[in-house]
Structure 1
């Protein structure tokens, strides 16, 4: 049997607009408006047998607003950024330019004292690999765009540097089908946009 996991990228928050590391701000008004516009397209995913979300406030709020009543999964949290938590990339670069360069160049680097990109991708992939076999009901997971990017890289067995070349928009969907070690990726697009 194969598993079908549809990831829904959380709606926007002020953190997304500022692109802050591991920031847990709630949905902003624009995010709430986007969820309302997208609800008719994303609501059918509420029929999934298992419904999860990352533990961030915006992921939970997105899932709840879509009627998913998701269960928070710690493994779907954003990459641990250590002392850079809450910083923008520009702020981290201004304070520690060599450390940021090392982090961007080496997927195993942890100059911020947090989690490496490699470890982050492996954590998200480990969660994916341990989902129960699909009985036809499927799985939906609302998560930060960074988590969706990590899942794509893992599923495709792509080099970790591929992560930097993926753009996941709020409320876009990505479906991963297969089983542990053998995944296919289907890009669903962005919904609710005018």
Structure 2
């Protein structure tokens, strides 16, 4: 038996370089508008056997707004960015250029005093690998774009630097199928057809 895990990106997001590290702001008016607009296409995912979300306010609000009533999963929290919490990558580069350069170049480094990129990817991947097969094969997880990028890098066994090349848009979906240690990325549907069925 295999699992089908559909990740849904929280509303109100932005490009990777404009995201704030460990952003704990709630959904703003534009974010709620995005959720309301996407809800008809994403509502079928509420039929998943298990529905989760990250602890971030945007993720919880997105999951509730889509009718998922998700269970908060601490392992799906954003990367611990230490003293860079709340900054954008550009702001971190401006304040501590050498430390930021090291962090972007070395996935094992944590010059901000928080979690390394490799540790973050491993934590999210560990959550993915410990999903219970016996509780049902369909899972939906609403999370911040950074968490979804980490999950995809883990599932694909891609080099950590791949994390920086993935662009996860608000309310977009990504589906991984498999089981612990054996995941594949699945593309369903055609452009304009909405999200895949759960």
Normalised to the residue count of structure 2, the TM-score between the two structures is 0.91
Report Cα offsets for 1:12-58 as digits up to 9, x if no partner: 15898952111100111111111111101100000111100000000
Please identify, of 129-138 and 176-185, the stretch whose mean Cα deviation from structure 2 is larger: 129-138
Q: How far 1:90 sits from its partner (Å)?
A: 2.1
Which residue number in structure 2 is paired with residue 90 of structure 1?
Answer: 90
Tell me the equivalent position of 1:23: 23
Matches for 1:23-62 after TM superposition, within 5 Å: 23-62=23-62
> How far 1:179 sits from its partner (Å)?
0.6
Q: Residue 123 of structure 1 corresponds to which residue in structure 2?
A: 123
Cα separation, partners in 2 of 1:15 and 1:162, compared to 1, 3 Å: closer
Residue 71 of structure 2: aligned partner: 71
Structure 2 match to 1:152: 152
Q: Which runs of 5+ in 2 are unaligned?
A: none
CA-based RMSD: 2.1
Structure 1 residues 187, 111: CA separation in 2 closer, same or farther (over 3 Å shift)?
Answer: farther
Task: Output one character per residue of 1:65-101: Cα deviation in whole Å (capped at 9) or x when no partner.
Answer: 0010001000000010000001122221121100000
Calculate the TM-score normalised by the size of structure 1: 0.93
Q: Which of structure 1's runs of 4+ aligned residues deviate more than 6 A? A: 14-17
Partner of 2:100: 100
CA distance in 2, matches of 1:33, 1:26: 13
Count of aligned residue pairs for this structure pair: 192
Distance in 2, matches of 1:8 and 1:169, equals 9
> In structure 2, what is the equivalent of residue 138 of structure 1?
138
SS in 1 for 2:20: coil
- Flag the 1:182–1:171 CA change in 2: closer, same or farther, 3 A: same
